[in-house]
Amino acid sequence: MQFTPTLFGQSNSHTHAEGVLEALESMSEPGPLVQALAPLDLIVAWNLADDEKRLDLFKLASFEQIQNLVDITCWQGDTPDYDSLLEVLRPAALSSIPDAILALGKIEPSLRTLLLGRKARIHVIENRNDEVVVDDESDLLSAPDGFFHVELPDPDAVSEPERMLWRALLFQPFDQYHRELEAMRWELQSDLEEQAYRFRTGRLADLGFLPREEAVSSLVPRTVEEIQWLARAVQFPRLELDGNRALPVLYRECLRGAEFFDEVIGELLQNGSLDRQASLSAELGVSTNQFVTALGTPLHDTEAVRRTTKHYRNLLSLGLELCSYGDVREATRLLSALVPGLFVSVALGRLYPLGRRAAAVLRNKRLGSLGQPASALDPVYHVALELLARQIPLPWPGLAQGADTSALVLPPLEQELAGFSTELEVQAHERLLEEAERLPWMLGEAMRAPRNLPGATPASVLLLNALANAAAGREPTPEPVSYAEAVEFGERVVASSEDALVYDAITALSSAFELEPSGGLELDADPDPARRLLVRLVLIGLSRLRAAAPQKVLLLDG
């Protein structure tokens, strides 16, 4: 069966994991189909399969594919995960002796030695009539030659798949099991694990899964000017990759969904060369893998890899938009000339300064008290700044979805995080960041809040107190008010419309905030971050007063 590579797919729909599993039953020769699966595609199919189909996949996949499956799913950091490795081998081990022998042959020798030898002791006698001395609780397996014996000191800890693998090993010719048993006798576990780790690291690097410290070093920021110079002045070195393999299914599914990038790919598919389409597929696969490992995404968790791939896609879309100033044809020309990772670097160059600014706000001592850093931040600022301050700044999805930024409780969002994809999205978060950066000034110079805030007091509460003091004829400072003043102020605020309340607040605080008494009240339209901050905090404060009695919201005397 022949496949025609394209950028986001192939001519046969069976390249999808579900299609491959169906083909195991419907096709007379499904081997080439399975052997065409990229590593992560095989993992997706493996995770969807039952034991019967996992056995088929295991038998049909190449030695290299099974190695990659083990490399990605059967390690915890630098150490082999033997339980996961045994789970990969289990369907074949429990099937039959020939399949168990196949299972032993499809894993790297050092891992095979480690897996079997970890629960065994190897004994060798000089005369086959001699007795082997073992503990009464042990099980003893004897090799056909009569000289080698395998002691299982804790029989209950040895599962049935492991016993089947032992039977398969001892069923093989003498030279094969002799070499394995001698390795168990003399090789140090630490040396075997180091060897297995070194081989694994090399194989993963060939796929683009670099060691994390090396992958992180690829997340360098670049400027638009650098990329445009490269596109004009030099032939940037291309990756030497096999262009005949289409982009893995997992990536083809996840590299859709960013509008600008989709348009660029559409233009490339329509007018670009077939050679460039094939090479770009390979480049996208490798550069995305580098990004996955740079972020420390668990390779065995396909859902986490999907989310990270979408994050990469969004950054690529943002970088292309920045470099082309939003022109699809120019972006297509640039992507035809340069590797995609360069555009991700441009996106990082745009975002990293936001991250540094957000981290500076979060560290500002003016916005917290002892043991409660940034406690003056209300929910929208707290969530947005925490996301911006991550290793790679992330957008708060609620802002793009038009969520109520005055809400007091924001929903969990880890599953929704996808990365910045457009300049407009970056600018919206920049505006929110500008407001948050005005908070220390607001609490200090404008409102003269106490240096040590009382407990975890959010800025909206301090603002309400300032307005309550102004309503009582005093200076608009966040000093505590009396119980009666709090109740009277709260009742009046709740009865007011949002526009009236905001207008009153701007009137009362215009001098302290250095604002014009009149002006727009629209958050999206106002260019003044101090005015936007005031308006947003008033709306958050109104939400607080509607959710609880005024005396439970405002700071009170005594």
Q: How far apart are CA 299 and CA 205, in angstroms?
A: 13
Closest to 489 (Cα-Cα) out of 503, 511, 472, 506? 472
What mean pLDDT do residues 113-128 have? Answer: 90
* Domain annotation for the chain: domains and CATH numbers: 14-115+161-201 (1.25.60), 216-351 (no CATH), 368-433 (no CATH), 441-553 (no CATH)
- Mean pLDDT is lowest, of 43-52, 515-524, 529-538, for 515-524
Closest to 12 (Cα-Cα) out of 49, 265, 52, 22? 22
Question: For residue 164, what pLDDT is reported?
Answer: 96
Closest to 106 (Cα-Cα) out of 43, 56, 169, 63? 63
The 10s digit of each residue's pLDDT in 235-251 is 544 444 444 445 666 77
The 10s digit of each residue's pLDDT in 341-387 is 999 999 999 999 999 999 999 999 888 776 778 888 998 999 999 99
For residue 62, is pLDDT > 80? Answer: yes
The 10s digit of each residue's pLDDT in 279-298 is 888 888 888 889 998 998 88
Report how far Cα 417 is from the mean position of its chain's Cα atoms.
9
Question: For residue 411, what pLDDT is reported?
Answer: 62
Question: For residue 23, what pLDDT is reported?
Answer: 82
Percentage above 90 pLDDT, the chain? 48
- Torsion, Cα 551 555 557 558, to 10 degrees, reads 90
Closest to 257 (Cα-Cα) out of 416, 486, 413? 416
Q: Taking all residues of the chain, what is their mean pLDDT, rounded to a whole number?
A: 86
Question: For residue 241, what pLDDT is reported?
Answer: 41
Question: For residue 13, what pLDDT is reported?
Answer: 37
For residue 8, is pLDDT > 90? Answer: no
The 10s digit of each residue's pLDDT in 122-143 is 998 888 777 888 888 889 889 9
Higher pLDDT, 164 or 515: 164
Q: How far apart are CA 121 and CA 134, in angstroms?
A: 10
Question: For residue 240, what pLDDT is reported?
Answer: 44
- pTM, two decimals, is 0.82
What mean pLDDT do residues 305-312 have? Answer: 90
Q: The tokens of 449 are what?
A: 């809040």
Residue 452 pLDDT class (50, 70, 90 cuts): low
Residue 414 pLDDT class (50, 70, 90 cuts): low
Question: For residue 524, what pLDDT is reported?
Answer: 72
What mean pLDDT do residues 84-109 have? Answer: 95
The 10s digit of each residue's pLDDT in 196-228 is 999 999 998 888 888 888 888 888 999 999 988
Percentage above 70 pLDDT, the chain? 89
The 10s digit of each residue's pLDDT in 456-512 is 789 999 999 999 999 999 988 888 999 999 999 999 999 988 888 888 888 888 888
Beta carbons within 10 angstroms of residue 371's beta carbon:
7
Phi/psi of residue 142, nearest 5 degrees: -105, 135
What mean pLDDT do residues 89-93 have? Answer: 96
Higher pLDDT, 325 or 527: 325
CA dihedral sign of residues 90, 92, 96, 97: negative
Question: For residue 237, what pLDDT is reported?
Answer: 44
Q: How far apart are CA 184 and CA 500, in angstroms?
A: 81
What mean pLDDT do residues 67-81 have? Answer: 92
Higher pLDDT, 371 or 116: 116
Question: For residue 520, what pLDDT is reported?
Answer: 56
Question: For residue 12, what pLDDT is reported?
Answer: 41
For residue 2, is pLDDT > 50? Answer: no
Q: How far apart are CA 254 and CA 305, in angstroms?
A: 10
> Please, are residues 417 and 307 in contact by the beta-carbon 8 Å criterion?
yes
